[in-house]
Amino acid sequence: MPEEGLQWLAKPDLLTDDEIVRLIRIAVTELGVTEVRFTGGEPLLRPGLVGIVERCAELDPRPRMSLTTNGIGLERTARALRDAGLDRVNVSLDTLRPEVFQAITRRKRHDDVLRGLDAAHTAGLTPVKVNAVLMPGLNDDEAPELLAWALENGYELRFIEQMPLDAQHGWKRDGMITAGDILASLRTRFALTAEGEDERGSAPAERWLVDGGPARVGVIASVTRPFCRACDRTRLTADGQVRTCLFAREESDLRGALRSGAPDEEIARLWRLAMWGKKAGSGLDDPSFLQPDRPMSAIGG
């Protein structure tokens, strides 16, 4: 979190609850989408989230639904979200040390996240997945400790390489903690056995059995081991733009079509065109690569 915080989108720019549900319905019924993830930004800040989940659960075919959250507020919403039809959650937690958590997030809310995780597990939003990003000089020594804690609590841990999506645009490839670094650190304490590619499919995480299984740990190596060829995701921002890739600098406007009265068929056509124009790769290894002007953390999606 930048020290000065993030700029909020103006409310008129945001999709309404009805507009979000309509776009999800088009994605599910017209475009073959089978799984919907509510992410951000922080989706638990959305007042109508439970109602959106409930309405999406009524779609035919019904998509699987998950939520990626910082976990703050999950303690009070986990049961309602489960009752509404949410299937599972991913919770971002980079450290087990409250002082490091405060340095990363600018918040003294570490205990709230731990309680939120427990509430999600109790509510049946399983498997509860925990996403952790290791950063030099902050938490780069915590990989084995985080995995031991996740195993003890029945969570599935996934490490994510730090990506050039930070609001400060301060990311540098040199010095980042790579997937290789993470695995080497984990192997100082655990035996890891790689799952086969058939098990992975289009999922972004490579997974390893821990000490023979059945517990697993995942690593999402977007920078050093890109998986663009298998990616099957489309991203819709909180203000109605299609992003074909996390690293895309271009967006395609669906909000304008929605608000001008376009029928579902036209909106589906625009969405298809956006995805057909998706680049072959993220471009991270290109010397001319530039970070997106609008990181996903700032706009939701």
pLDDT (tens digit per residue) in 246-286: 777 789 999 999 999 999 999 999 999 999 988 777 666 66
| Phi then psi dihedrals of residue 99, to 5 deg | -70, -35
Once rounded to an integer, what is the mean pLDDT over residues 112-138? 96
Using DSSP bridges, classify how beta strands 216-220 and 156-160 pair: parallel, antiparallel or unpaired.
Answer: parallel
What are 192's strand-pairing partners? 210
DSSP H or E stretch at residue 216? strand 216-220
Name the one residue in this structure whose structure tokens are 């074909």: 244
- pLDDT over threshold 80, residue 288: no
CB count within 10 Å of CB 40 equals: 20
- pLDDT over threshold 80, residue 32: yes
Residue 162 pLDDT: 82
Q: Give the chain's count of helices (H) and strands (E).
A: 11, 11
Residue 285 pLDDT: 66
Instruction: Measure the CA–CA gap between 203 and 187, rounded to whole angstroms.
Output: 23
- pLDDT over threshold 70, residue 296: no
Per-residue confidence band for 299, with pLDDT thresholds at 50, 70 and 90: low
Once rounded to an integer, what is the mean pLDDT over residues 43-48? 93
Cα 225 to the chain's mean position, in Å?
18
Amino acid residing at 173: R
DSSP at 9: P
Q: Which two tokens stand for residue 253?
A: 């406007």
- pLDDT over threshold 70, residue 169: no
DSSP for 58-71 reads TSSSPPEEEEEE-S
Least confident of 37-51, 77-91, 150-164, 219-233: 219-233
Residue 203 pLDDT: 74
The residues near 202 (Cβ < 8 Å, ≥ 6 apart) are 230, 231, 232
Burial profile 245-275: b = 16 or more Cβ within 10 angstroms, e = fewer: bbbbeebbebbebbeeeeeeeebbebbeebe
- pLDDT over threshold 90, residue 31: yes
Residue 148 pLDDT: 98
Instruction: Measure the CA–CA gap between 180 and 249, rounded to whole angstroms.
Output: 28
DSSP H or E stretch at residue 267? helix 264-276
Residue 33 and residue 272 in contact, taking contact as beta carbons nearer than 8 Å: no
Measured CA distances, 123 to 47, 70, 112, 263 (Å): 20, 17, 16, 38
Once rounded to an integer, what is the mean pLDDT over residues 174-179? 83
- pLDDT over threshold 90, residue 33: yes
Burial profile 11-28: b = 16 or more Cβ within 10 angstroms, e = fewer: eeebbeeeebbbbbbbbb
- pLDDT over threshold 80, residue 8: no
pLDDT (tens digit per residue) in 184-211: 999 999 999 998 766 666 678 899 999 9
pLDDT (tens digit per residue) in 136-151: 999 999 999 999 999 9
pTM for the complete prediction? 0.89
Name the one residue in this structure whose structure tokens are 């922080």: 42
